[in-house]
Amino acid sequence: MPNAPVRVRLAPSPTGEVHIGTLWIALFNWVYAKQHHGTFVLRIEDTDQKRFVAGSADRIYEALYWLGFSPDEGPQEGGSFGPYIQRERLQLYQDAAAQLVGSGRAYYCFCTPERLEQVRAAQTAAKLPPRYDKHCATLTREEADRRRGAGESATVRLRLPETGTVTLHDLIRGDVIFKYDLLDDSVIMKSDGYPTYHLAVVVDDHAMQISHVFRAEEWLPSAPKHLFIYQALGWEVPAFAHFPLILGTDRSKMSKRHGTTSALMFRDQGYLPEAMRNFLVLMGWHPKGEAEVMTTDDVLAQFAIEDVHPSGAIFDQTKLDWLNGLYIRRLTPDELQVRLEPFWHQPADQVSPTWLTAALRLVQDRLVKLSDIDQLINFVFPSVWDSELTTFERSLLVPKKGKTDQVQQDLTWASTWLQTQSGTWTAAGLKAAMLVAIAAAGKKNGDVLWPLRVALSLRPASPDVFDLIALLGPAESQRRIAAFL
Which residues are annotated as catalytic? 256
CA–CA distances in Å: residue 390 to residues 257, 301, 384: 35, 56, 11
Q: For 333, how many CA atoms within 13 A lie in the half-sphere containing its CB?
A: 11
Residue (of 7, 13, 9) closest to 194 by Cα position: 13
Helices (H), 136-240: 141-149, 197-207, 223-233
Question: What does DSSP say about strands 239-243 and 212-216: parallel, antiparallel, or unpaired?
Answer: parallel
Rounded Cα–Cα distance for residues 218 and 375 (Å): 41
* Contact (Cβ atoms closer than 8 angstroms) between residue 263 and residue 23: yes
Rounded Cα–Cα distance for residues 132 and 137 (Å): 10
Kindly give the interhelix angle for 273-281 and 56-67, rounded to the nearest 10 degrees. 90
Q: Which residues contact 76 (CB under 8 A, 6 or more apart)?
A: 61
DSSP assignment letter at 364: G
Secondary structure of residue 120 in the 3-state scheme: helix
- Rg of the chain taking only CA atoms, in angstroms: 32
CA of residue 374 relative to chain centroid, distance: 24
